[in-house]
Amino acid sequence: MPARSLGSVALRKAEDMEGGLHFNVFTVDFNEELVALYGGSLLRQTHFLHESIKAILRLYKHLKTPPQSVVLVGHSMGGVVARALFTLPRFNTNLVSLIITQASPHLAPVLALDPYLLDFYSAVRQKWVNQAKKLRNVTVLSVGGGYRDYQVRSGLTSLPCPPGDPNKLSLVATAVPRTWVSTDHLSIVWCKELVLATVRALFDLIHPETRQFSVNPEKKMAVLSHHFIRHPVRMLEETQETSVSISDFPESWSEVNTLRLAYSTPKEGQVKYFLFALSSRRKAYSHFYCRSNNLEMSSWVYGCVNASSCVHTVDLSTGTELLPPYKVLVLSLSNLSSVTHLLVSASNLNGKQFTVECEWQRQESQTLSVPAPHVLSFGLTASDVSVNSSGLLHIIQLQHFHQVYQALRINVASQCKVHKDRLPNVYRIHVPWFGEDSLTTASVPSVTEISGMLHTSRPDNSSGVLLLLHTAPNCQYKVSVRTSLPRVLGQILRFCGPMVPVYTAVTLLLACRGQLCSILKSRRSADMSQAVGKGLQPHQVNLPVYILHMLLSCSWFQDVWSVLYLPPMDALPSTTPDMTFHEGGVPVEEWPHPLSPLFYIWGAAVAFWGSALLRLIVRLISLILAPLHRPSVSRDCGTLPRRTLLLITLSLTVMGGVSCGALSIFAAFLLHLYRVLRLQMTERSLSHMLNLAPRQHKEAENGSVEGDSQSRSTECNGAPLLSECALQEVRDDLQLHLCLSALFTLPVMLIAPSLIHWIRNLRYSPQLDPDPCWPLSVPLIIVYMLLINCNTLKLSNSKLLPLTSCIPLPMSIAMVTFSPLHLYRVSYFLLAALVPLASCVLL
């Protein structure tokens, strides 16, 4: 929780201030519920927060001027709950005037594992978008953690609001002045730099007369912009007039007639001013650049109307930008029509040494362009540009760099002929459409590598990404830009991670289809590893999805689609701040279709190694449980009689209704896993027995091994229990049930957050309410229990097997079409494919 860090820092700051001003910081404990994955508690948390705010304000009713509102600081889903307050029908919007969120996924949930989560997000988004005018008095600041936050990517922290809303601000911690670092999901709460910026902003928001937080939206945005965007010397609404007379300190004035000034203050304190005439520079130059490593945020650059006295000056320091090693001011000469001279203060009355460097610039000549290499260049080609100018600031336009799946490795090499003490270089990647700038400080000379990646893609009609080089004078710089393949893959996985479990389910479902086809053809199941390997069939899955995308661009097909009441197709997650939404409130955007086979390969890899891990776990557990069971040689080991099966099914159904549906599903999964363990123990026992049996006895039992597969299966049906045929039957059943068990694992993993939430809150209530698993639990339990008694012989004799083997492929296509942004739908599609398979056991 952010309360501890904010409270301690605010207390120390209040102790150093006069007037007895202090903050009361309260924390709202949500018991660390997994609401990021289970949305059933989000509405209760919202109501609890509402009641907490009213209880807090009641504590101050005895005061003459009690506070009327509070400031909310929320971390992760706490920030989403804070914005959800305004969806409550009886909530007074005047109770909250400012919301500060840290690493909160405002755009969409990280993983949509239940419909309650999506409904909650949809309600919050509709409230803030459709009633934006009514909520303009509420200021919201969202801060993302950056690339070190692996749980919530910073693109999701962007606030979904109408374009041009002046009271909503979204940025990344790397762009916050005096912070400039990325944080992980938890450390953003106690990051000292961010805590200091937040506390300073809260103190500046106090109205001097009422001693309460200001309710003026312009005032709030000015303070937040001051501390979280540029951090100039003072806020814009503060007026400051400075009068400097040359006659007072004639020896301290120096007029600069050169193109550049480089001045270092002496150890002794002195008053020093430099005067720059504008009249002779307006035609040749467009900007004036000045920097100083005196980081005291005080006025230092002025505009004079009369150079002889400078009695009336204009403070031009408000545009100062704070960088890690120095402060920088860039002035456009076109905006200084009423100013005749520029005055730069280099006074160090306290004896502190610092350096001031200023120069006239023509921005056109100091702006270069370099094309970003194509993603498919794999880093083999590079785009190079050399900076031979001696200026202090150079701008490099990174052309064609505007998508999140692009990742660049930018190398900047600096070389100077004369070695002397210089101010360090600052390389800044500036993203105009989102506050995600990143800064890198480097010494001179040096070779520095910069990581060029984006949190959001460029919206329409936005300028491109800029690389700003704050350089040392009289040095040469070479910039090399390459594509980084590992970072490209990392970006794709970061943004499209939810696609991997979908394709994992597709691979396992098609592996089950391969097992059914093998049983239908040869009455034997295939090896599980081979079946999973053959589950990688992008031509059968992705091609129909591509065709659906193409057909949906036609109006007549859209009409047919709507007549069938089909939901919209799930595209890949949105990457732009101005996204479009599905009806469920999930942002969508078109990604390049060639990426789908890549997701399929990743999903197939997870399925392959996951199934291998499952086989290993089954073998290890079976070794542990073997001493507790009698050796068995029958393929029916672990099966249940019909009455017992019916009784257990009813018991699990009732248990799911009165407690938690996920618990009953998990129990049914364990019962099927026990069947797999018994088959593994039986397979090991039969193998050991046959290895100990005499060779002649085994040949007599096995009979002839010639003939087709039908004759071999006929021999096995009448073979003794201790025979090679019996061993093969057990192995066939084991491979079938291993494949089914891997498929059953997916729904169990998707419902795990509900089960964990129920266990953590069991002391408060024995029933999970609402339960997103209840509609799914009853049919899924029946399927799990029926398939416990399944074997290859029953399937091969079933008349429904040909039809059942055809269902997994269309279910896989539907899964890819409708599940990437609604992961809970994966369980429903798996259920639709497993119901016919369970029917084969009965018919």
Cα dihedral sign for 412, 418, 421, 422?
negative
* Coil, helix or strand at residue 627: helix
Is 76 designated active site? yes
* H or E element at residue 144: strand 139-144
DSSP string, 101-127: EES---SS-SS--SHHHHHHHHHHHHH
Answer whether 123's CB lies under 8 Å from 83's CB: no
Task: Give all strands (DSSP E) within 280-345, no chain letters.
Answer: 287-292, 301-304, 313-315, 321-322, 327-332, 341-345
Distance CA 337, CA 316 (A): 13
Cα dihedral sign for 743, 747, 748, 749?
positive
Closest to 541 (Cα-Cα) out of 766, 179, 810 = 810
CA dist 157 → 101, 105, 565, 576, 670 (Å): 9, 5, 33, 11, 39
Task: Give all strands (DSSP E) within 756-818, no chain letters.
Answer: none
Residue 332: phi, psi to the nearest 5?
-90, 125
Q: Which residues make beta-bridge pairs with 291?
A: 328, 357
Angle subtended at Cα 800 by Cα 797 and Cα 805, rounded to the nearest 5 degrees: 100
DSSP state of 435: B
Given the residues 69, 76, 438, 777, the one annotated as active site: 76
- Provide the 10 A C-beta neighbour count for residue 497: 16
Distance CA 733, CA 515 (A): 11
* Coil, helix or strand at residue 591: coil
With b meaning 16 or more CB within 10 Å and e meaning fewer, what string describes 88-125?
Answer: eeebeeebbbbbbbbbbbbbbbbbbbbbbbbebbbbbb
Rg of the chain, C-alpha, whole Å: 34
Q: Which two tokens stand for residue 792?
A: 């290859």
> Which amino acid appears at position 510 of this protein?
L
Which positions are annotated as active-site residues?
76
